[in-house]
Structure 1
């Protein structure tokens, strides 16, 4: 809970801080990487830094947290904090790193806002920072305890499957021969690779196999740059990693997980590579004897670009009450629809719980259509690959 004097100060200064927070994030990262270049080389996504998306996400999360504290003084934004904490835990973030972030963030605030940062303003925003940081540290501590520490493990590729021209699935077993713990359908792992320049970059990929399998399976879409360079890690995995190679994986993380009774109506909606967590969810539902209606919705460029399509359809066929709705921008086959995903003709049952994964415009459209069909906003859950710009843009719109 934010103290009353600090709450008043934050309320008065939030518009000014919010307006400048993009500049603050820019200065923060410049200072941080100048002091700790190893963080950019071995922890932060260099592509997201170059494109500016990481800066937007940081700014959005801080603004959203401060606004929540003001609007709901007796509550805590647990959903937002949980999402960030899972990302941090998958990267191995430690409590010792939070004071480092604090040092450079507050120096950046002072550089950007200048004399407007009075001792009272600094103290109030310091309180906001440590409320958020300590909450994240506590959640991350619990996550680490559940999985035996902030550890990674070496895994050897035992199978490599080319799904489409731009998607490859990797199946791996632990090098140490130890047991493979089950995960919750919808979770992801962090994958660390050593690039040709020596950088040890990390990316998150959803687990696309059944949760109880004795291997880890994730699928990687090769990222082709447009205004920015091609994706470093995805292209490295496609071009250089084959059967027999060893990768470093975290334990599973992520809060977009199935949480429904066996009779709960579900919508699993995806687009493009967002299909990957949905495959694990469908496999879990089929294995667990789910009886309720399951509406499977997927959009893609074409049937040839639909990764894991055979698994997508076969798992749905194992459910007693499942409907599959496929939308393709071109080359749609009989029985499927041409164009972008549109739920206008899709039956959505009362009490439905929905899970979304795909590009942000897709998820915003589907979320709006689901709400129009009577689905409660609290029952619509989503996953974003990379920095959560949905959160950032929502915060900037306040």
Structure 2
């Protein structure tokens, strides 16, 4: 909880800090990478830095956290903190790195806001930072302990035991620990980080959902190749598609992620678009394998049936459930595809059972649209869960 004195100071300065938070985030990353270029090379996603997505996510999370401290004292935005902590744990972030961030973030605040940063203002925002940082450190320590790893030491060598071309731009890689030890347990919907060495020597990391269910003899990731020769956000996916074959090895983290089934006995709606189907497939396989009997509604949108990765599995696992229905929308459907399932996902004709818990994964515009439709159908906001591939620009809405 923020102290009374700091609460008053943060409340008074929040509009000014909020208006400048984008500039602060830009300057922070410039200072951070000037002082520690290895962090951009080997930890941060260069694509998200180039696009500005990471800066937006940082600014949004700080502003959301500070706003909650002053508007709802005594509470924490735990959904936001958990999501950030899972991402951090999958990257191996350590407590010491929060000190590094603090140094450069507060240098950026002082430079952008100038004389407005009095000692009182600096102390108040320092308190905000460490409340957020210490909350994340505590969650991350718990996540590391759950996986039986030391903070930051999340990496193991995994062997590629199979590769399947799902579509021209999507491939699945089946993995097992290279040392023959058991694969760590995970919950359907979670992801792993994969680190590869690129041609320029950088060790870039990306997260990929596990597309197989727990209990499989291997772990599978399904990777969509991001096109564009000069797109830094696609440099890892292009590397995997071009260079990784059966018998090769990858550095893979322990599994993390907070988009997991919270109530197996409730009616479920599993909605995805594009490659967002991967965590949904793991959930469906798990539900089919455990005899889930409550209603399950499966929704997916894609450009065309040919672009729909794992389409056969999507339909097969749904059919194995005793009370289920699958609804696939395609912008460019095959002849004979229902007209009311052509174009973008539209839930107006889809029945949603009372008590439904919804799980969404896909591009942010898709998830915004589906969430809006579900809210209109009476699904409580607390029962709508989502996963964002990359920095979460939706944090302030939770």
TM over 0.5: yes
- The answer to whether structure 1 residue 342 and structure 2 residue 346 are counterparts is yes
- The answer to whether structure 1 residue 45 and structure 2 residue 49 are counterparts is no
- The answer to whether structure 1 residue 235 and structure 2 residue 245 are counterparts is no
Tell me the CA shift for residue 288 of structure 1: 1.3
CA distance in 1, matches of 2:318, 2:57: 35
Distance change (3 Å), C-alpha of 1:229 and 1:77: closer
Alignment partner, residue 11 of structure 2: 11
2:375 to 371, 374, 378: 371
Q: Would you say the 8 A contact 2:211–2:279 is kept in 1? A: yes
1:221 to 221, 224, 229: 224
2:319 to 317, 320, 323: 317
Q: Would you say the 8 A contact 2:191–2:207 is kept in 1? A: yes
Alignment partner, residue 277 of structure 1: 279
Alignment partner, residue 97 of structure 1: 97
Q: Would you say the 8 A contact 2:174–2:220 is kept in 1? A: yes
Q: Would you say the 8 A contact 2:159–2:178 is kept in 1? A: yes
Alignment partner, residue 107 of structure 1: 107
What TM-score, normalized by structure 2, do the two folds share?
Answer: 0.97
CA distance in 1, matches of 2:383, 2:294: 16
Q: Would you say the 8 A contact 1:265–1:351 is kept in 2? A: yes
Alignment partner, residue 2 of structure 1: 2
- The answer to whether structure 1 residue 182 and structure 2 residue 193 are counterparts is no
Structure 1 segment 11-160 matched on structure 2, within 5 A: 11-149=11-149, 150-160=153-163
How many residues are paired up?
A: 393
Q: Would you say the 8 A contact 1:187–1:257 is kept in 2? A: yes
Gapped regions of structure 1 (runs ≥ 5)? none
Q: Would you say the 8 A contact 1:182–1:213 is kept in 2? A: no
Structure 1 segment 195-210 matched on structure 2, within 5 A: 195-210=198-213
- The answer to whether structure 1 residue 329 and structure 2 residue 306 are counterparts is no
Tell me the CA shift for residue 230 of structure 1: 5.9
* Cα deviation code 1:345-379 (max 9, x no counterpart): 00000000000000001000000000101101000
* Cα deviation code 1:235-257 (max 9, x no counterpart): 01111111111000001000000
Tell me the CA shift for residue 182 of structure 1: 2.6
* Cα deviation code 1:258-302 (max 9, x no counterpart): 11133x110000000000000000011111111000000000000
Alignment partner, residue 268 of structure 1: 270
Moved more, 331-340 or 206-215: 331-340
Tell me the CA shift for residue 226 of structure 1: 9.8
- The answer to whether structure 1 residue 352 and structure 2 residue 359 are counterparts is no
Tell me the CA shift for residue 334 of structure 1: 3.3
Tell me the CA shift for residue 148 of structure 1: 1.1
Distance change (3 Å), C-alpha of 1:104 and 1:130: same
Paired residue secondary structure (1:327): strand
* Cα deviation code 1:141-194 (max 9, x no counterpart): 001011111321100111010001111100011110001233100000000000
Alignment partner, residue 387 of structure 1: 391
Paired residue secondary structure (1:291): coil
Distance change (3 Å), C-alpha of 1:12 and 1:226: farther
CA distance in 2, matches of 1:122, 1:54: 24
Paired residue secondary structure (2:394): helix
Tell me the CA shift for residue 77 of structure 1: 1.1
CA distance in 1, matches of 2:336, 2:12: 59
Tell me the CA shift for residue 331 of structure 1: 2.1
Distance change (3 Å), C-alpha of 1:333 and 1:274: farther
CA distance in 2, matches of 1:76, 1:390: 17
What TM-score, normalized by structure 1, do the two folds share?
Answer: 0.97
Q: Would you say the 8 A contact 1:332–1:338 is kept in 2? A: no
Q: Would you say the 8 A contact 2:46–2:232 is kept in 1? A: no
Gapped regions of structure 2 (runs ≥ 5)? none
Alignment partner, residue 366 of structure 2: 362
CA distance in 2, matches of 1:261, 1:161: 30
Paired residue secondary structure (1:87): helix
Q: Would you say the 8 A contact 2:188–2:260 is kept in 1? A: yes
